[in-house]
Chains A and B, each alone.
Chain A
């Protein structure tokens, strides 16, 4: 084969490879663009949540330094749309400020009042908390919340949230979540004992409080910050 023939053949092969590569990349992008809706980590806000919580200590469902003098406790239901609103609008300034500064820690406790899916989701959040991803799970769940008791919070959705939250050992997470129903029931009973009837409900304790002080449902970041100030 002459040099010119070899060159011509190589260029034809190269052109074919380029067309093939373009086709494969376009197909991959189109396939992924139409695969929204759970089953993977491509839930809305996974990256944003991971970045906002980056570097903040987490222990089970407590966010912040364990030695923080003030503990703000949220009793919430993962199916509750108002709770989702708090996670998105009310709490972030407190997390950015007082929690990151080590002055406050926020504990999420399950208060499951909406339906059976709430308890399953709560157990799943606790199991994610055992791997240091509890708050990522809670916030990602809220961000992708569906209609109350509509059946969306099935095993596939919970696993997608766990993946998106960064839970590393999904086998362990799956085993543990089936054993944490009692813990969810305990915190629900605790909320009822405190007189709470809806979610989210808050309580606080710190050097300035006489034990656990019931806050109810403060309606703004400012109201929560005032309570933190008084508890400090």
Chain B
């Protein structure tokens, strides 16, 4: 089975992670300013989601956690060692899992869809697959980490 080069995977991860930082930062900034993110096609889905209790964990907007996750993913894209490969995979897996949960909440609990949340979920899903391919294709491939004595 042939994989894309690790460099290309890293560039793709950096690209999608940077987009994710932008999306999550927009949601966090809009909420911090007292507004909900603007739904591009109108409707109140974004406002409904932003005002639901699910939008905060321990008093912190979940978009802030999103920013942290995307920044970590961005960082792993600039390193070529097993720690970065597994770290990127683990963070993307967590983000992907949480996106699945939030999508379930939007559809079945809040009964509203926020386009920005969907955008973030799509980005996180893409990043999960890219990081999974990177880990499967290149995990253990070099000795960038120092071997234990």
Chain A residues engaging chain B, CB cutoff 8 angstroms: 1, 3-11, 13-14, 17-18, 21-22, 24-25, 28-29, 32-33, 40-42, 45-48, 50-51, 53-55, 163, 166, 168
Instruction: Report whether A10 and B86 are in contact in the complex, using a CB–CB cutoff of 8 Å.
Output: yes
Given contacts A7-B139, A51-B44, A51-B112, are A166 and B51 in contact (CB under 8 A)?
A: yes
Instruction: Report whether B86 and A7 are in contact in the complex, using a CB–CB cutoff of 8 Å.
Output: no
Residues of A within 8 A of B143 (CB): 3
Residues of B within 8 A of A48 (CB): 111
Inter-chain CB contacts under 8 Å: number = 90
Is B79 interfacial (CB 8 A cutoff)?
no
- Chief secondary structure at chain B's binding surface: helix
A50 to B110 CA separation, bound complex (whole angstroms): 10
Task: Point out the residue from A32, A42, A54 that lies within 8 Å of B44, measured CB to CB.
Answer: A54
Chain B residues engaging chain A, CB cutoff 8 angstroms: 43-45, 47-48, 51-54, 82, 85-86, 89-90, 93-94, 96-98, 100-101, 104-105, 108-112, 132, 135-136, 139-143, 147-148
Given contacts A25-B100, A51-B45, are A1 and B147 in contact (CB under 8 A)?
A: yes
Instruction: Report whether B93 and A46 are in contact in the complex, using a CB–CB cutoff of 8 Å.
Output: no
Residue of A nearest to B50 (CB): A166
Instruction: Report whether B100 and A1 are in contact in the complex, using a CB–CB cutoff of 8 Å.
Output: no
Residue of B nearest to A5 (CB): B140
- Chief secondary structure at chain A's binding surface: helix
Residues of A within 8 A of B142 (CB): 3
Given contacts A14-B89, A47-B111, are A32 and B139 in contact (CB under 8 A)?
A: no
Residue of A nearest to B34 (CB): A168
Q: 6 nearest interchain CB pairs?
A: A7-B140, A47-B111, A54-B44, A6-B140, A47-B112, A10-B139
Residues of A within 8 A of B135 (CB): 10, 14
A55 to B142 CA separation, bound complex (whole angstroms): 57
Residue of A nearest to B85 (CB): A10
Instruction: Report whether B93 and A50 are in contact in the complex, using a CB–CB cutoff of 8 Å.
Output: no
Task: Point out the residue from B94, B100, B110 that lies within 8 Å of A41, measured CB to CB.
Answer: B110
Residue of B nearest to A40 (CB): B53
Residue of B nearest to A22 (CB): B97
Instruction: Report whether A47 and B48 are in contact in the complex, using a CB–CB cutoff of 8 Å.
Output: yes
Residues of B within 8 A of A24 (CB): 97
Task: Point out the residue from B52, B93, B98, B147 that lies within 8 Å of A18, measured CB to CB.
Answer: B93
Q: How far is the CB of B95 from chain A (nearest CB, A)?
A: 10
